[in-house]
Amino acid sequence: MRRRLMAQTQSPPAAPPRTRKIGMVSLGCPKALVDSERILTRLRADGYAMSGDYAGADVVLVNTCGFLDSAKEESLQAIGEAMAENGRVIVTGCMGNEADAIRARFPGVLAVTGAAQYEDVVDAVHAAAPPGLGPYFDLIPQSAPGDVKLTPRHYSYVKISEGCNHACAFCIIPQLRGDLVSRRIDAVLREAEKLVAAGTRELLIISQDTSAYGVDVRHEPRAWHGQPVRTHMTDLARELGGLRTPDGHVPWVRLHYVYPYPHVAAVIPLMAQGLLTPYLDIPFQHASPAVLRAMKRPANEAKVLERLREWRDICPDLAIRSSFVVGFPGETEDDFRYLLDWLDEAQLDRVGAFRFEPVAGAAANALPDPVPEAVKEERYARIMAHSAAISAAKLAAKVGRTVRVIIDEVGDPDEDGDIGASGRSQADAPEIDGAVHLRNVPDHLAPGDFVDVLVEDADAHDLFGVITRA
């Protein structure tokens, strides 16, 4: 998933004349979005304000994605646009490792820094546009004192670690971001608690490998509210499951980038008890043992099916999202059919697919038997159609049921005065999954509200319904 936005806070007040303003274009995955939020939070503490457009910015930060060649191209285009529209541009993020290529194409960029190099970005901004006023002078409305959020107020990404200890053949994230480094669990929990107290209704836990959280620090315990908690995914999930919003709701907590290791089973009962959102984002990437071996993936697909069955026995509403790569070097038609058959067994709720692209520096590039582009396209179309059919059947089975929904957007009244809205069920993460479209909603409905919805209809990706309890 790629996302692009200019940092925009809700109706910023008129800034004092000498306050410097920063524009931000953030590309890439939710992890990059969290980096952008951290950078902006730090800059705000240094007295900068945010600009919602190029024209009003003293300097524009472009947080790039360098994972795939297509993402790099999109990043280069974004840099080009920022150069053309503003001209004072600092580049950061995953593509920062390719400073020479960036400077060759855009010699006028002010600075290029790498992923997660927060201090360097901040230093570059200070050099390009020295802050005119002291810290905290320019107060911009936001969800929590001191934090700048790029996501809507009612949901927040929380990054628990950086880097990865695996060596998947198609991936250069360990080269870009280094080995796994886990954040202190007390710091993560404090951040989550503050976000929920400030109005966040949904926490999205992200990392490169959430199930490995704490491995680097041997799961060291830290004190949290007077009790020891281990730096471990299950302790984290348990503590997050104990949070309550100011009005007494259990906030939704989603775990992203989880590998199906045995210890993941420990969080499923929390989901069955309603303390953790029954949703797991597990990047399986393939199912054929031969392809998984070639990918150097840490998984065993037969045991995985068994585990999915066990988890669903404990928590029948568990929704599982995954992503897959098609056209990996050496993938045969039999491997691909194996994947489609495996999907029939696994009955995943949400599936994203990518055509394999060689990434500069990835081990997979040296593998023999590349799959021709036309075959990749054909397999991509087949897996998308296959997973859409599974999704359509699973969503059709929800028609007539009542599901809990969090509201994302409320529309304006139409000519008959009816108001529509859209939100998501517990099976839908923002930006990547489906939506629940609602008709005739009450006019007091607002983003972040939890409502019960009778599902009246479904298509391959979305649900349609009406509120039964607001």
List residues near ligand SF4 by CB under 6 A.
Answer: 164, 166-168, 171, 173-174, 208-209
Ramachandran region of residue 369, left (φ > 0), alpha (ψ -120 to 50) or beta?
left
- Tokens 């059709």 locate to 396
User: 129 or 348: whose CB is closer to ligand SF4?
Assistant: 348
User: 83 or 168: whose CB is closer to ligand SF4?
Assistant: 168
End-to-end CA distance of the chain: 32
Phi first, then psi: give them for residue 403, nearest 5 degrees: -125, 150
* Adjacent-strand bridge partners of 326: 355
User: 170 or 464: whose CB is closer to ligand SF4?
Assistant: 170
Ramachandran region of residue 391, left (φ > 0), alpha (ψ -120 to 50) or beta?
alpha
Q: In whole angstroms, what separates CA 141 from the centre of its chain?
A: 24
Q: By 3-state DSSP, what share of the chain in percent is helix, strand and coil, each rounded to 5?
A: 35, 20, 45
**Residues whose CB falls within 8 Å of the CB of residue 412, separated by 6 or more in sequence, listed in order:** 419
Smallest distance from the beta carbon of 292 to ligand SF4, in angstroms? 12
Phi first, then psi: give them for residue 59, nearest 5 degrees: -150, 145
Smallest distance from the beta carbon of 235 to ligand SF4, in angstroms? 22
User: 279 or 284: whose CB is closer to ligand SF4?
Assistant: 284
Smallest distance from the beta carbon of 14 to ligand SF4, in angstroms? 43
User: 113 or 208: whose CB is closer to ligand SF4?
Assistant: 208
User: 84 or 167: whose CB is closer to ligand SF4?
Assistant: 167
Smallest distance from the beta carbon of 364 to ligand SF4, in angstroms? 11
Could you tell me if 6 and 53 are in contact, meaning their C-beta atoms sit under 8 angstroms apart? yes
Smallest distance from the beta carbon of 233 to ligand SF4, in angstroms? 15
Q: How far apart are CA 347 and CA 103, in angstroms?
A: 47
Pairing of strands 155-159, 111-112: unpaired
Smallest distance from the beta carbon of 418 to ligand SF4, in angstroms? 45
Smallest distance from the beta carbon of 29 to ligand SF4, in angstroms? 10
Q: How far apart are CA 38 and CA 268, in angstroms?
A: 31
Smallest distance from the beta carbon of 166 to ligand SF4, in angstroms? 4
- Tokens 């593509």 locate to 95
What does the DSSP assignment read for 19-83?
--EEEEEE-SSHHHHHHHHHHHHHHHHTT-EE-SSSTT-SEEEEEE--SSHHHHHHHHHHHHHHH
User: 208 or 277: whose CB is closer to ligand SF4?
Assistant: 208
**Residues whose CB falls within 8 Å of the CB of residue 257, separated by 6 or more in sequence, listed in order:** 206, 207, 208, 209, 210, 281, 283
User: 167 or 223: whose CB is closer to ligand SF4?
Assistant: 167
Could you tell me if 126 and 135 are in contact, meaning their C-beta atoms sit under 8 angstroms apart? no
Smallest distance from the beta carbon of 33 to ligand SF4, in angstroms? 16
Q: How far apart are CA 373 and CA 346, in angstroms?
A: 27
User: 343 or 364: whose CB is closer to ligand SF4?
Assistant: 364
User: With b meaning 16 or more CB within 10 Å and e meaning fewer, what string describes 71-104?
Assistant: bbebbbebbebbbeebebbbbbbbbbbbeeebee
Strand intervals (E) in 181-315: 181-182, 202-206, 221-224, 227-230, 252-255, 279-281
Q: How far apart are CA 152 and CA 448, in angstroms?
A: 9
Smallest distance from the beta carbon of 330 to ligand SF4, in angstroms? 18
User: 91 or 173: whose CB is closer to ligand SF4?
Assistant: 173
Smallest distance from the beta carbon of 174 to ligand SF4, in angstroms? 5
User: 47 or 96: whose CB is closer to ligand SF4?
Assistant: 96
